[in-house]
Amino acid sequence: MKPRQILNGGLALSASLVIFVIPFLFVLINAMKSPQEASQPDFALPERWLFWENFVTTVQTRDYALLLAYWNSTVITVGAITLLVIFGAMVGYVVQRRPSTVTRIVYMVALSGLMIPPAVVPTIWLLQSVGLFKTLNGMILIQVAYGLGFTVLLYRSFIGTIPRELDEAAIIDGAKPWQVFFKVVLPLLKPVTLTVIVVQSISIFNDFTHPLYYLPGRDNVTVQLTLYNFQSQFASQMNLLFMNILLITIPPLIVFIFFNRQIVAGMTSGAVKG
């Protein structure tokens, strides 16, 4: 390995340590302290480790609001990911396999979601008109709308690497268009599907602004909104606030650690062709 490569690798590891590891250790240490020790957060180890006590207190706060937030965030994430995978794969397949003026317009409309900023007030008005404001179903559709452009982009690029001969052979054997997609193409999309699931699930689970705008109400709280709602209550108990941060950080962190290679593979697989 060349000295320059070693230097670049060392710089990358150092930057990762400063940006990701050190803040996580800071939160972890202060989440296990007493209120008096955590009142001035630092890297000093606690005199007495209070992980379980702080954990139980945080979970029980506001009638187990954190558990309700986990349930709401999980429902929103699973519902949105399911629709994103289904519709993203379908749109990406049609746009890639059937180029025409119509499909180009559809593709540009889908990509416009990556460039045009969301209009909050008209969206709220639309949700109120159809009776989906302050509902989990409405929040699922919002997440699908905001994530569909990126999903279609990934699927279209990946489908471009799949030979058209597979589609033609299936059609010759008598397969209908929907059978070609679901039985021939869709099983080959596992790498990019896993990438979409991991990337979008982390994004949706950690979303703060959209639930704040479109999902108000105590019963509609999500995991990120618990931090916003608990700030005043935990102002004198920073250890509980840090514990709350820790509890909502661990699930996405575990997903990223175990699936980071699949994320890179799925996002680069269509980079050459498509």
218: domain CATH number is 1.10.3720.10
pLDDT computed for residue 70 by the predictor: 93
In a domain, 3, yes or no: no
Question: To the nearest whole percent, how much of the chain has pLDDT over 90?
Answer: 24
How far is it, in rounded angstroms, from Cα 161 to Cα 97? 11
Q: What confidence tens digit (pLDDT) does each residue in 52-109 have?
A: 999 998 888 888 888 999 999 999 999 999 999 999 999 999 998 888 888 888 888 8
CA quadruple 197, 200, 201, 203: dihedral, nearest 10: 160
In a domain, 124, yes or no: yes
In a domain, 126, yes or no: yes
In a domain, 18, yes or no: no
Per the CB < 8 A criterion, the answer to whether 85 and 199 are in contact is: no
In a domain, 150, yes or no: yes
Summarize the confidence of residues 10-21 as an average pLDDT: 74
In a domain, 130, yes or no: yes
Report the predicted TM-score, pTM, of the whole model to 2 decimal places: 0.84
| Residue 131 φ/ψ, nearest 5 degrees | 75, 25
In a domain, 35, yes or no: no
Domain total in the chain: 1
The DSSP H or E segment spanning 204 is helix 190-205
How far is it, in rounded angstroms, from Cα 5 to Cα 11? 10
In a domain, 60, yes or no: no
Alpha-carbon separation of residue 113 from 19, 107, 151, 158, 221 (angstroms): 29, 10, 11, 20, 26
Domain range holding 210? 65-268
Q: What confidence tens digit (pLDDT) does each residue in 19-38 have?
A: 778 888 888 998 899 888 88
Above 60 in pLDDT, residue 5? Answer: yes
How far is it, in rounded angstroms, from Cα 95 to Cα 103? 5
